[in-house]
A and B are shown apart, each in its own frame.
Chain A
Amino acid sequence: RKEVEQDPGPFNVPEGATVAFNCTYSNSASQSFFWYRQDCRKEPKLLMSVYSSGNEDGRFTAQLNRASQYISLLIRDSKLSDSATYLCVVNLVGSARQLTFGSGTQLTVLP
């Protein structure tokens, strides 16, 4: 079983749509959680951290369910510029700030 699993997609949605991505992680000792964004043929960049209480940054909302070992990312009012691959990322306790990446979910926002 992969440490971090994501639905690879692709998700093709029209502009203005709301889209949600899910991610599960296998190690219950996981400590910190993030969503990174990776544009085609570019490097990954931090989109947002995920906190137990849930957090929002503009059109983006991240949720964490530790009991189910599940993380989600919701994008509201999708823009063309949101087209990218979204990587779910987990850090384990005591792993010296090493990040374990999921394989990513590809999103294409259509005009």
Chain B
Amino acid sequence: EAGVAQSPRYKIIEKRQSVAFWCNPISGHATLYWYQQILGQGPKLLIQFQNNGVVDDSQLPKDRFSAERLKGVDSTLKIQPAKLEDSAVYLCASSLDLDRSSYEQYFGPGTRLTVT
């Protein structure tokens, strides 16, 4: 079974530039999450989708971050403009439908962003 796919794997940009990350979840997984993981910390949830609807985006810095999952499958996360403190690994995860009993989230390999 294919896992969660993310691209690019690495990105280096200058502050104030824009960047976009792409995620394709495991087939059949209705719920998709974007996390930010800063070095030395655990992943922090940015936004959660179920199908193409937003379940929670309370921790997404909406002045500069946006995310969409238009067809309920793959998703993009954008940062515009980037700041130095956005340097982190951006992880995408997916899980089965919210109504299922499993809480297990399957993570992609992440995109390592460096803002200079």
Contact = CB atoms under 8 A, between A and B. Distances in A.
A99 B109 contact: no
Interface in B44-59: 44-45, 48, 50, 55-56
| Interface residue tally on B, bucketed by range | 20 to 34
B109 A42 contact: yes
B25 interface: no
Contacts of A46: 104-105
Interface of A: 4, 8, 32, 34, 42-46, 49, 87, 89, 91, 95-104
B31 A87 contact: no
A20 B104 CA distance: 23
A106 to B, nearest CB: 9
Contacts of A44: 43, 91, 107
A44 B33 CA distance: 13
Given A44-B43, A96-B55, A101-B44, 18 more contacts: A4-B42, A8-B40, A32-B103, A43-B91, A43-B110, A44-B91, A44-B107, A46-B104, A87-B42, A87-B43, A89-B42, A95-B56, A96-B48, A97-B98, A98-B33, A98-B48, A99-B105, A101-B43
Question: Considering the complex of A and B, which 9 residue pairs feature the smallest CB-CB distances, nearest first?
Answer: A101-B42, A43-B107, A46-B104, A103-B42, A101-B43, A103-B41, A96-B55, A102-B42, A44-B107
Interface of B: 31, 33, 40-45, 48, 50, 55-56, 91, 95, 98, 103-105, 107-110
Given A43-B110, A96-B98, A97-B95, A34 B42 contact: no
Contacts of A34: 103
29 contacts: A4-B42, A34-B103, A42-B109, A43-B91, A43-B107, A43-B109, A44-B91, A44-B107, A45-B107, A46-B104, A46-B105, A87-B42, A91-B103, A96-B48, A96-B56, A97-B31, A97-B95, A97-B103, A98-B45, A98-B48, A98-B56, A99-B45, A99-B105, A101-B42, A103-B40, A103-B41, A103-B42, A104-B41, A104-B42
